[in-house]
Amino acid sequence: MERQPLTRRQFTTTAAALTAVGLAGCSDDDDENGDNGDDDTFETDDPGALTLFFETEDGEPVSTGFSVLIEHEEEDYSSTHAEEIEDGELSDVNLLHEGEYTITVESEDGEFDDVEETVTLEKEEDEEETIVLEGATPDSEVEDEEEAGEEDGEDEADDEEEETDDENGEADDEDDEDEAGDETDDEDGEDE
């Protein structure tokens, strides 16, 4: 007796029937309350917003050269921030859970030692925390350096422009001399 191959229709019908049987067995695992005992749902609390202020030991704001890691150990949650910091402030960080968070500030270039703080967020209560970064460069000095760099860049651009003009001027002088020499040759050729 020779075995006939399955058609697409037969294969699809068989696969659907086996899937339905497999799923039917899973649906009976619920207890009387409709809960199957697995708590895989992702629930969040409603903590208030967290605002962090970063400053030097002299109280000047610091906004660059570091990153901030905010971790909630119990809930296995973390978030990292760097670009959002303006004028020494990381505003309205919306976190998912109430409870204790560890805030770690790490220098990107080793300018200061890492700083670790702990803050507790309560339900619907906003929290503010000031973190002192000893040895960090304040925003005022960063702005001064940027302005000095822009001025240097303008001076360099002016110097390059003058060099280009000088090179073009020399080339123009050489062209003028060549043309003058050609005119003299033409005049000599006409006399002959």
103 within 8 A of 69, measured Cβ to Cβ: yes
Q: What is the pLDDT of residue 106?
A: 95
Q: What is the pLDDT of residue 152?
A: 60
Non-local (6+) Cβ contacts of 133 within 8 A are 54, 55, 56, 62, 66, 105, 107, 112, 115
Q: What is the pLDDT of residue 73?
A: 79
Taking residue 95's Cβ as centre, other Cβ atoms within 10 Å add up to 21
Question: Is the predicted pLDDT of residue 100 greater than 60, yes or no?
Answer: yes
d(C-alpha 27, C-alpha 23), whole Å: 7
Q: Where are the domains of the chain?
A: 50-132, 138-172
* Span 139-188, pLDDT tens digits: 998 877 777 666 665 555 555 555 555 555 555 555 555 555 555 455 55
122: left (phi > 0), else alpha (psi -120 to 50), else beta?
beta
Strand 115-121 relative to strand 99-107, pairing: antiparallel
Written as one string, the DSSP assignment of 5-66 is PPPHHHHHHHHHHHHHHHHHHHTT---TTS--S---------B--EEEEEE-TTS-B--SSE
Question: Is the predicted pLDDT of residue 57 greater than 80, yes or no?
Answer: yes
Question: Is the predicted pLDDT of residue 26 greater than 90, yes or no?
Answer: no
Q: What angle do CA 53, 78, 74 make, to 5 degrees?
A: 110
Q: How confident is the model at residue 192 (pLDDT cuts 50, 70, 90)?
A: very low
Query: Average pLDDT, whole number, for the chain?
Result: 76
Non-local (6+) Cβ contacts of 90 within 8 A are 51, 52, 53, 54, 68, 81, 84
Q: What is the pLDDT of residue 7?
A: 78
Q: What is the pLDDT of residue 169?
A: 54
Q: What is the pLDDT of residue 133?
A: 94
Q: What is the pLDDT of residue 15?
A: 76
| CATH topology (fold) of 50-132 | Immunoglobulin-like (2.60.40)
